[in-house]
Amino acid sequence: MFSMTLMSLIIITLSTVVMMLATILSKKNYSDREKSSPFECGFDPMSSSRLPFSLKFFLITIIFLIFDVEIALILPMILIMNYSNLLMWTTTSIVFILILLLGLYHEWNQGMLDWSN
C-alpha cells in the first residue's frame, strides 16, 4: 500500500515538473510580423489569407457525417437478425428508421437539402 502511494506521488510530481518545463520553454519571447503572416513567395500578402467559407458546405458535411454514422449502425442490424428475437429486432429497427426519417423530414423542412441556391 505504501509503495503504491509513493509511486503515485512520484508520477504526479514528475508529470507536474514536465508540464511546467514545457510551459516555460514553449513561450516565444518575440513576435515577428513577417513570421506570423502567411507566406506568398517572399512578398507581403496581397489579400487576406482567411477567406470566408460557405456555411452551406459545412451543413452538407455534417449531414453526410450523420448519415454515414447511421449506415454504420444499420449494417450490424442485418447480422444480428438471425440471433435475436424477431419481434424485438423488428420494433427496434422500425423505431430507429423512424427516427432517421423524422430527422430527414426536419432537414428537408428547414431547407438544408435545397442545394440549388
List the chain domain ranges: 2-28, 55-110
- The whole-angstrom separation of Cα 9 and Cα 61 is 46
In DSSP terms, which residues pair with 43 in a beta bridge?
Answer: 40
Determine the Cα angle at 73 with ends 78 and 94, to 5°.
65
Is the Cα torsion angle 96, 102, 106, 108 positive or negative in sign? positive
Q: How far is CA 77 from CA 24, 31, 65, 74, in A?
A: 52, 56, 19, 5
pLDDT recorded at residue 91:
92
- The whole-angstrom separation of Cα 59 and Cα 57 is 5
pLDDT recorded at residue 104:
84
pLDDT recorded at residue 47:
63
Q: Let me know how long the chain is.
A: 117
Tens place of pLDDT per residue across the chain (117 aa): 778 899 999 999 999 999 999 888 876 666 666 666 666 566 665 666 666 777 777 777 888 888 888 888 888 888 888 888 889 989 988 998 898 889 888 888 887 777 665
- The whole-angstrom separation of Cα 63 and Cα 104 is 9
